[in-house]
Amino acid sequence: MSLGDLTLRDAIRPADLQAVELIARETGFFSEEEVAIAAELVREALEKGAASGYAFLFVERAGELIGYSCYGEVPGTRGSYDLYWIVVSPACQRHGVGRLLLDASEQAVRAVGGRHLYIETSSREQYTPTRSFYLNNGYVEVARLDDFYAPGDGKLICLKRLDVKAR
């Protein structure tokens, strides 16, 4: 797969609701409850637009959705954003799609004055590749909340300061 074959868009479409749900389910990483949350965020953005607080980026290949990210400003802050989701279809993982979405999300947040981008993820072994992805892309673990999601499943919070130039 070539990254040149991909289209990146930020306009949300009604068909994205079902596509996001399908991709999230296909990964095998997310529980049914988490898949429902992913779909709910799309539904809310479709109904409320920018007022929902959720922004999306979508990657397509030949008109088919193969990945997306969802981010939004943390309410009550000035320039702090959460990156809620990056999800890539299993068949398209390890080809640079996640990196494309991460870079584009960071650029979009910077463009609106975002200074910090936070990512929360699970401490479960299954999420080791996810944590490595973020750490290898300039994020730093800033907090660990043991047993947050469930016994033995902590929440890790990672941060990338977007207002600091890379050295």
Q: What is the pTM of this model?
A: 0.91
Average pLDDT over residues 88-103: 92
pLDDT, residue 68, reads 97
Note the pLDDT tens digit of each residue in 39-90.
999 999 999 999 999 999 999 998 899 999 999 999 999 999 999 999 999 9
pLDDT, residue 165, reads 66
Does residue 160 contact residue 112 with C-beta atoms inside 8 Å? no
Using the predicted structure, report yes or no on whether residue 147 has a pLDDT greater than 80.
yes
Does residue 66 contact residue 59 with C-beta atoms inside 8 Å? yes
Q: Which long-range contacts does 125-131 make (Cβ < 8 Å, 24+ apart)?
A: 126/29, 127/29, 130/29, 131/156, 131/158
Q: Which domains does the chain have, with CATH numbers?
A: 3-161 (3.40.630.30)
pLDDT, residue 2, reads 56
Token pair in block for residue 134: 């973020």
Note the pLDDT tens digit of each residue in 103-129.
999 999 999 999 999 999 999 998 899
CA atoms within 13 A on the CB side of 140: 5
Crossing angle for the helix pair 15-26 and 32-48, to the nearest 10 degrees: 160
Residues of the chain above pLDDT 90, percent: 85
pLDDT, residue 163, reads 84
